[in-house]
Amino acid sequence: MIDYVHPEVPTQDKRWRLVQAEMRKHGNAHSALIQTLHAVQDAYGYLDPETLERVAANLRLPLSKVWGVATFYQHFRMKPSGKHTCVLCTGTACYIKGAGELQRAVEEYFKVKLGGTTEDGELSFLSARCVGACGLAPVVVVDGEAVGKLTPEALINHLEGVIDADQ
């Protein structure tokens, strides 16, 4: 599992910068919540819990309020649409150690583009900028668990195992 990251801790995730820009545009006001949630969904594809915590901290709103609004509107997705998720780290360390090859392998084998979900709905393939486990590069996070030092073959095997396990 990835260590819990406190919402005030800066992140290198470029997607978060897009969200920050949206909040700044609205003066980080409480009333910017809905626009901010739209920005999170546009950038991440769904509203993940860690990002909601960051939003709450930045807009100085209770987390319960943020969750309340996020779950009230049907428009917002609370998780990626696939049954399983594989988040590919595309940070510098992982990139140097072959994240590009992992990406190609998953795209070819599962016929899914980065940011998409397989046709059978089994796997969403997402990316993140540094998941904080650079020593294990190249890293993916599969269903919340970081798996590192991967070759393309090892990653395909791992994903097949995860998908097969609940079939």
Where does this chain bind ligand FES (CB under 6 A)? 89, 91-94, 130-134, 137, 139
- Is the Cβ of residue 150 or residue 163 nearer to ligand FES in the bound state? 150
CA 154 – CA 148 distance, rounded (Å): 10
- Is the Cβ of residue 5 or residue 93 nearer to ligand FES in the bound state? 93
Q: How far is the CB of 67 from ligand FES (least distance, A)?
A: 28
Q: How far is the CB of 159 from ligand FES (least distance, A)?
A: 18
- Is the Cβ of residue 19 or residue 87 nearer to ligand FES in the bound state? 87
Q: How far is the CB of 74 from ligand FES (least distance, A)?
A: 34
CA 119 – CA 135 distance, rounded (Å): 33
- Is the Cβ of residue 58 or residue 127 nearer to ligand FES in the bound state? 127
Task: Name the closest residue to ligand FES (Cβ).
Answer: 91
Contact at 8 Å (CB) between 82 and 123? Answer: yes
CA 106 – CA 162 distance, rounded (Å): 14
Q: How far is the CB of 105 from ligand FES (least distance, A)?
A: 17
CA 108 – CA 159 distance, rounded (Å): 13
- Is the Cβ of residue 89 or residue 155 nearer to ligand FES in the bound state? 89
Q: How far is the CB of 87 from ligand FES (least distance, A)?
A: 10
Closest CA to 4 of 134, 162, 143, 131: 131
